[in-house]
Amino acid sequence: MALRRLDLRGFTGDRRELAALLPRPVDEQDRSSDAVAAIIAEVRAGGDEALRACTARFDHVDIDELRVPADEIRAALDRIPPALQEALDVAHDRILAYHSHEADEVPDDFESGGVTVRHLVRPVVRAGCYAPGGRARYPSTVLMCAVPAHVAGVEEIVLCVPPGPDGRVDDATLAAAAVAGVAEVYRVGGAQAIAAMAYGTESIGAVDVIVGPGNRYVAEAKRQVSGVVGVASAFAGPSEVVVIAGPDTPPEYAAIDLVVQAEHGPDGLAWLVTWSEGLVDAVDAAVDRIVAESPRRVDLEATLDAGGWAVLVDGPKQAAAVSNVVAPEHLELLTKQADSILAHIQSAGAVFLGTNAPASMGDYLAGPNHVLPTNRTARFASALRVDDFRKHIHAVRLDDEAVRTLGPHVVTLAETEGLPAHAESVRLRWQE
């Protein structure tokens, strides 16, 4: 079978023109999205019974107990051939050694048994930044998105911002773009901006990564295009804060910091978690006073009515447990016990320690990024960082002895998986 050819000799176009010429994999997303959505909905509603039904429908087998018993897992080691067990052990140990090296963030080469692995770090070529607009302006978000992209070495940075009522982007946002060296700014917002950056239009070239916070429509659009482009910081959406406070916490501090997050708009979350019932009463009174005096009173009341909570717990450790379940975007430990509570924190976008560290400092100039994971995605995601704009590539080299020593194990594993060409590609080399 002859390979299809594409002759690009003499090509002088730019990257976008080259991308248009090159064959692309068949995009199965449109074909499969409805089917996948139906399966997900079925499993969410039906649980184990839905899993059994799907297994029967797609895999043509009826399963009663979904989990494989532990003794069956252990017994499998005795049932496989000794050569396969040895190959699995060698593979396990080598994978463990490399990733342990990687976890130490050591930038030098990894060498083991004649195998050398170089660690290459490369930036994406084109990054898309989204800054909310409309009722507010966020020049700080422009800086938070563009600066780490520049540090990563991104060549092209795109900014999308919703236009104001006059059709313009406000000067503060444009000035931040100028300070951050953003050359492309487009006055388009919402889910449509995410779609434009993901797929490209006549005016806006497609990007490799999309970053930046937005409302729930922006967050959902980012979720849907994830996989077409990289989506950093776990779909940062409406703002959230959990304030853990004790009897020593000034009520005014807790109250104003709850209002701070509600100030960002609808669908937000503002939780007070405390083991002091008296503090709840004092914070309630302070919040009422602050909201009543605010020029954004209507917005604050709407957000706090839907997403404002006070949670009473038995003590600091239980407060940390509540916070870990919520996995908030911002977590404030407004108590002298902040450091001891921090030891129990597992999931949060950013943590602010003590009464001198309100989340507002992190929003602007503490240094770390204010684009943070929301909607409980801090369980697995982190703040926007330089690495969100970079890829890690490993480059592998083997010497002759490594091929002779490791090759037989590769052949064993490949043949076990029913991939004879994989086995032969290694066998050819060690036999040479």
In this structure, the strands spanning 115-123 and 390-398 are antiparallel
Alpha-carbon span 337 to 340, nearest angstrom: 6
How many DSSP H helices and E strands does the chain contain? Answer: 16, 13
Q: What is the reported pLDDT for 259?
A: 92
- Cα 300 versus chain centre, distance: 28
Q: What is the DSSP string of 190-242?
A: HHHHHHHHHH--SSS---SEEE----HHHHHHHHHHBTTBEE-TT---S-EEE
Determine the CATH number of domain 123-233+386-391: 3.40.50.1980
Q: What is the reported pLDDT for 164?
A: 86
Do residues 161 and 194 touch, judged by C-beta distance below 8 A? no
CB atoms within 10 A of CB 216: 15
Do residues 196 and 161 touch, judged by C-beta distance below 8 A? no
Name every residue whose Cβ is closer than 8 Å to that of residue 289 and which is 6 or more positions away in sequence. 255
Do residues 403 and 266 touch, judged by C-beta distance below 8 A? no
Determine the CATH number of domain 240-378: 3.40.50.1980
pTM of the model: 0.82
Do residues 115 and 406 touch, judged by C-beta distance below 8 A? yes
Catalytic positions are: 329-330
In the chain, ranges of CATH 3.40.50.1980 domains: 123-233+386-391, 240-378
Q: Which tokens hold the place of 339?
A: 């450091």
Do residues 302 and 322 touch, judged by C-beta distance below 8 A? no
DSSP label of 4: P
Block means of pLDDT (10 residues each) for the chain, length 432 residues? 71 81 61 73 87 85 84 86 87 80 74 91 95 82 92 94 87 92 91 92 93 87 90 73 96 94 79 93 93 88 87 94 92 96 95 93 86 89 92 92 94 93 92 77
Alpha-carbon span 140 to 373, nearest angstrom: 17
Q: What is the reported pLDDT for 413?
A: 93
- Which helix (DSSP H) or strand (DSSP E) does residue 412 occupy? helix 400-416
Query: For 13-21, which contacts have Cβ atoms below 8 Å and span 24 or more sequence positions?
Result: 15/125, 16/205
The identity of residue 29, as a single letter, is Q
